[in-house]
Amino acid sequence: MVSVFAIPTGTLAAIITILYLATRTIYRLYFHPLHKIPGPKLAAASHCVEFYYDVIKGGKYIFAIERMHQVYGPIVRINPRQVHISDPEFYDEIYTSAARPRDKDVYATARLGSPLSVISTNSHRHHRLRRRVLNNFFSKQSVMSLEPLIQEKCQLLARYFERASRSGTLVRVNDTLAAFTSDVIAHYCYGESYHYLENPDGKNHLKEGLGGLLLLVHVFYFFPWLPRLFAIIPIQLTRMLSPSMSALADFQLRIRKQSAETLSDITNKTKKNGNEQQTIFEALVDPSIPAEERTIERLTDEGVIVLGAGSETTANNMALCLYHLSENPSVMQRLRNELEQVMPNPTSTASWAELERLPYFNGVINETLRLAIGGSWRLPRIPTEETLRYKDFMIPQGTPVIMTQYFVHMNPDIFPNPTKFDPERWITATEQHHNLAKYLVPFNRGTRNCIGLNLAYAELYLGIAAIARRFDMKVEDTTADNVMLARDYGVPHSETGCWNVKARVVNVLTK
498 in a labelled binding site: no
C-alpha span between 35 and 49 (Å, rounded) = 17
281 in Cβ contact with 259 (< 8 Å): yes
Question: Where do runs of H (alpha helix) occur along 168-242?
Answer: 173-190, 205-214, 217-222, 226-232, 235-241
User: In this structure, are residues 419 and 68 in contact, taking their beta carbons and an 8 Å threshold?
Assistant: no
Question: How far is Cα 133 from Cα 128, in angstroms, rounded to an integer?
Answer: 9
Separation between Cα atoms, residue 210 and residue 226, nearest integer Å: 17
Read off the DSSP letter of residue 75. E
Q: Which residues pair with 46 in a beta bridge?
A: none
Strands 388-390 and 75-77: unpaired
Q: Which residues contact 321 (CB under 8 A, 6 or more apart)?
A: 364, 365, 368, 460, 464
Nearest 5°: CA angle at 81, between 79 and 83?
70
Cα radius of gyration rounded to whole Å, the chain: 24
Give CA–CA dist 224/11, Å, rounded.
Answer: 30
CB 476 within 8 A of CB 504: yes
Distances (CA, A) of 319 to 200, 305, 371, 468: 14, 21, 12, 12
- 336-344 CB contacts, 8 Å cutoff, 24+ apart: 336/468, 336/469, 339/465, 339/468, 339/469, 340/469, 343/465, 343/469
Residue environment code for 166-181, b if the CB has 16+ CB neighbours within 10 A, otherwise e: eeeeebbbbbbbbbbb
Query: Residue 323 burial by CB count (10 A; 0-12/13-18/19+): exposed, middle or buried?
Result: buried
Residues at the binding site are: 450
**Binding-site entries for heme:** 450
